[in-house]
């Protein structure tokens, strides 16, 4: 026998001996390693070098629900599994990958928890109250810990890769709580500090409207939200931010204040635009007649808005040709009126207006002649004619009728 043939025989005998020893030593509870050689919907076949292949049922492939065995393993993949049962007569060897994964997972998860480590998981299923992922054991991510914002429907999260941290770990009760929100919050805060350090008060930047509230609008400026108070949205009065803004709007804002300690950024939309008084001198000239809205009534006159953010005063003496005690007698707030521009002073933000000069003055009533404000009737006229009329400041009196008896005695 040649040496080559002899070596081959010894190799075969050694292999057979190894296989024999493996067959003899293989028992329930053993951990074995093998290669996936076939995948069906409800199970996977593993080659262990044993006289027949082992089977991993779908329920033993993962700690979470699977629709198909192919969701957990693929042909050619190396796996470690535990022997669940062995029946050589029926040539049935049942294995569990899940059991080994679970044993290995707790130590790894504990280390991640202790180190506050961020790691990736794949969403395996969407369940009531949140989503689950296979981390060797069933890892649950509550709905409130998935994102920084509220999510109503998680149906499209299945299959997504998320970055998470271990929030809670309880091996005794087989409980693992994960959180992506914690990861996102940490990144947000780090980015927030960076952005706030770079922001310069007084600078004008681009932003995106993220949220609208009754008191203002939150605008994203580089991944950080700043507040535009309702009073800073426009030069004209704004009742509700939603009246003039929509979520997603791209706008320019001016940085009013940055407070890193409180984590607050104050922004202004109107300050990023030319002020109404800056253009008032070009819009309005002395002598112009324009329309306006009565905004406020005070004892000395009425404030009329002739452009957004530009209010002028109509002094009480310029409201009407006739004498009035208060502006309320002829005007009301919200009323539209025609006004004449008497004077424009943008530097002092002042405009003088007149309503009466837009109206035709009524015809004057003729008055009788007067001399020094006294009656021109002479004493001798009174003596000679007791019926002479005395007209003083519009008062007409027949003296003969009123004082006839007394006048007759003077003759």
Instruction: Give the tens place of pLDDT for each residue, 237-290.
Output: 889 999 999 999 999 999 999 998 888 999 999 999 888 887 787 788 999 999
Residues 255/200, Cβ–Cβ less than 8 Å: yes
Q: CB neighbours (10 Å) of residue 85?
A: 10
pLDDT recorded at residue 360: 84
Identify which of 363, 359, 364 has the alpha carbon closest to the alpha carbon of residue 320: 359
pLDDT recorded at residue 7: 55
pLDDT under 50 in the chain at which residues? 5, 12-17, 19-24, 373-402, 406-411
- The SS3 of residue 364 is coil
Q: Return d(Cα 334, Cα 329) in angstroms, integer.
A: 15
pLDDT recorded at residue 115: 96
User: What six digits make up the tokens of 22?
Assistant: 């493996």
Could you list the beta-strand ranges (E) of 213-335: 216-220, 225-229, 250-259, 264-268, 289-298, 301-307, 310-315
Nearest 5°: CA angle at 151, between 110 and 109?
A: 5
pTM: 0.54
Residue-wise pLDDT for 355-410, tens only, equals 999 988 887 655 555 555 444 444 444 444 444 444 443 344 444 444 555 444 44
Tell me the domains of the chain and their CATH numbers: 16-100 (2.40.50.140), 116-184 (2.40.50.140), 199-271 (2.40.50.140), 276-358 (2.40.50.140), 368-411 (no CATH)
């Amino acid at each position: 026998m040649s040496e080559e043939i002899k070596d081959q025989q010894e190799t075969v005998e050694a292999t057979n001996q190894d296989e024999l020893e493996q067959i003899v030593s293989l028992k329930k509870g053993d951990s074995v390693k093998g290669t996936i050689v076939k995948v069906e919907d409800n199970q996977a076949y593993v080659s262990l070098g044993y006289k027949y292949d082992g089977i991993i049922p779908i329920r033993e492939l993962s700690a979470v629900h699977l629709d198909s065995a192919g969701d957990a393993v693929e042909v050619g993949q190396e796996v470690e599994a535990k022997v669940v049962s062995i029946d050589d007569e029926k040539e049935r060897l049942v294995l569990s990958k899940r059991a080994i994964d679970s044993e290995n997972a707790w130590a790894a998860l504990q280390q991640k928890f202790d180190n506050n480590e961020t790691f990736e998981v794949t969403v395996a299923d969407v369940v009531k109250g949140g989503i689950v992922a296979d981390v060797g054991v069933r890892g649950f991510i509550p709905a409130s810990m998935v994102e920084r914002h509220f999510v109503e429907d998680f149906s499209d999260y299945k299959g997504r890769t998320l970055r998470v941290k271990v929030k809670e770990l309880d091996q005794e009760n087989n409980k693992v709580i994960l959180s992506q929100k914690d990861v996102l919050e940490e990144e947000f805060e780090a980015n927030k500090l960076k952005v706030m350090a770079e922001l310069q008060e007084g600078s004008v930047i681009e932003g995106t409207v993220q949220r609208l509230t009754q008191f203002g609008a939150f605008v994203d400026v580089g991944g950080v939200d700043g507040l535009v108070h309702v009073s800073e949205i426009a030069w004209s009065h704004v009742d509700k931010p939603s009246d003039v803004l929509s979520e997603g709007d791209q706008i320019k804002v001016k940085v009013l204040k940055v407070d890193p300690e409180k984590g607050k950024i104050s922004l202004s939309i109107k300050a990023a635009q030319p002020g109404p008084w800056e253009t008032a001198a070009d819009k309005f000239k002395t002598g112009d007649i324009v329309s306006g809205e009565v905004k406020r009534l005070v004892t000395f006159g009425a404030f009329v808005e002739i452009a957004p953010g530009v209010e002028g005063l109509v002094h009480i003496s310029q409201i009407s040709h006739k004498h009035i005690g208060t502006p309320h007698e002829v005007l009301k707030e919200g009323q539209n009126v025609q006004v004449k521009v008497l004077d424009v002073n943008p530097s002092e933000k002042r405009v003088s207006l007149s309503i009466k000069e837009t109206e035709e003055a009524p015809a004057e009533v003729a008055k009788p002649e007067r001399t020094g404000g006294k009656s021109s009737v002479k004493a001798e006229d009174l003596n000679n004619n007791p019926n002479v009329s005395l007209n003083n400041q519009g008062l007409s009196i027949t003296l003969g009728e009123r004082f006839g008896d007394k006048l007759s005695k003077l003759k």
